[in-house]
């Protein structure tokens, strides 16, 4: 009896755990695997298999609209991730490299507000603000999308950077101050090199979030500013072809590669 009491609780020992886990993985990954398989479908139908073919990848590659949307998506994602990562780094330094202060929790909540508020609410709010600016200035360029994506991506970049800062040993920074290094020199020579993996991880995560965004882009963009996700949404409204599967598979591969790099940069090392 005593031996049974000392035994640790394990969720894997519960009845039906294995079955539930298998069902969960099937629900999550069977649709993704099906999409990847049917991206090589020779048939026009997305549901009827007509043989193996790379036709739709070639079609998407040669599609001028897809090329323009891809370039536009990459430009927006690169700019947004750069801006978001810079702001997130400064915010992380400001909230971790000092003692506790009044209002710290509120500031943390404000930084992470886009994570807690439904994305549709953020999109509508940005639409109202940017529509007023467009009317007043007459400017309808990509800057609105870059600003909107940057604001939405800041918390995604902030979290890994803050986690990296909180896990860093302050000994080297304190030693550099003892050796009369200026705050900027200590940051450039000590803090920044140690923080670089967290910054890179935050930038990659922000890039992926910006590249995949649909809701905010759909509300903020002007005519002729389709990104790859909004182009795919428009195609689904007209006629569903395996081209959409091919583009989705390419985005999936890119996202998996970036998230793998994110994991490698942020995993705990002894």
2-11, 93-102, 198-207, 223-232: segment of lowest average pLDDT:
2-11
Burial of 250 (0-12, 13-18, 19+ CB in 10 A): middle
Give the residue, 113 or 227, on which the prediction is more confident. 227
Query: Residue 47 has what pLDDT?
Result: 72
pLDDT at 270: 39
pTM reported for the whole predicted model = 0.81
Average pLDDT over residues 32-44: 86
Residue 134: how many other CB atoms lie within 10 Å: 14
Q: What is the DSSP string of 77-104?
A: HHHHHHHHHHHHHHHHHHHHSS---TTH
Mean pLDDT for all residues in the chain: 84
pLDDT in tens, 159-192: 889 888 887 777 777 787 777 777 788 777 888 8
Range in 28-42, 195-209, 251-265 with the lowest mean pLDDT: 251-265
Residue 254: pLDDT over 80:
yes
DSSP letter at 41?
B
More confident residue, 176 or 154: 154
CA atoms of 226 and 4, how far apart (whole Å): 62
**pLDDT cut 70: percent of the chain above it:** 93
Name all domains of the chain by residue range, CATH numbers in brackets. 57-266 (1.10.3720.10)
- Does 82 score more than 90 pLDDT? yes
């Amino acid at each position: 009896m005593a031996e049974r009491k000392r035994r640790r609780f394990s969720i894997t020992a519960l009845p039906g755990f294995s079955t539930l886990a298998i069902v969960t993985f099937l629900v999550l990954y069977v649709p993704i695997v099906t999409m990847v398989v049917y991206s090589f479908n020779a048939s026009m139908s997305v549901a009827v298999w007509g043989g193996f073919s790379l036709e739709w990848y070639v079609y998407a590659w040669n599609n001028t609209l897809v090329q323009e949307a891809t370039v536009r998506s990459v430009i927006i994602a690169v700019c947004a991730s750069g801006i978001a990562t810079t702001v997130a780094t400064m915010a992380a330094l400001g909230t971790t490299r000092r003692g506790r202060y009044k209002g710290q929790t509120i500031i943390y909540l404000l930084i992470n507000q886009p994570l807690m508020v439904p994305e549709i609410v953020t999109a509508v709010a940005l639409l109202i603000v940017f529509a007023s600016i467009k009317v007043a200035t007459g400017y309808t360029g990509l800057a609105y999308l870059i600003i909107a994506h940057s604001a939405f991506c800041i918390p995604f970049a902030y979290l890994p950077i803050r986690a990296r800062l909180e896990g860093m040993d302050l000994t080297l920074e304190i030693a550099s101050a003892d050796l009369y290094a200026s705050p900027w020199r200590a940051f450039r020579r000590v803090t920044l090199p140690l923080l670089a993996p967290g910054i890179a991880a935050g930038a990659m995560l922000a890039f992926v979030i910006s590249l995949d965004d649909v809701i905010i882009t759909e509300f903020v963009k002007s005519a002729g500013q389709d990104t790859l996700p909004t182009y795919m949404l428009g195609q689904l409204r007209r006629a569903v072809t395996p081209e959409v599967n091919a583009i989705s598979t390419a985005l999936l591969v890119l996202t998996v590669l970036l998230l793998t790099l994110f994991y490698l940069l942020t995993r705990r090392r002894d």
